[in-house]
Amino acid sequence: MTVKITINKAWCKKCGICVAFCPKHVFDGNPGFHPKVARPEDCIKCKLCELRCPDFAIEVRSDENE
């Protein structure tokens, strides 16, 4: 069961919150740059990145809810 994390670059204001607070360090990148989904396999689908994204720019999807 792989996880698909998408980032809406049009809305993302590169604040770096997702990168800083992901408990599993799935993202890479610094504030001022779009985050990169570096290690999706480590994602535990807690969705804190989605909840904490001020720009509503992150979507965490797993196969079940495709």
The contact set with another protein (CB under 8 A) reads 10-11, 13-17, 20-21, 31, 48, 50-56, 58-60
Q: Which positions ≥6 away from 19 have C-beta within 8 Å?
A: 27, 28, 29, 30, 31, 35
Cβ neighbors of 36 (< 8 A, separation 6 or more) are: 27, 28, 29
Shortest distance, position 51 Cβ to another protein, whole Å? 4
Residue 42: CB minimum distance to another protein, A:
20
Which CB, 38 or 54, lies closer to another protein?
54
Main-chain phi, psi angles of 15, to 5 degrees: -80, -20
Provide, rounded to whole angstroms, the least separation between the CB of residue 11 and another protein: 4
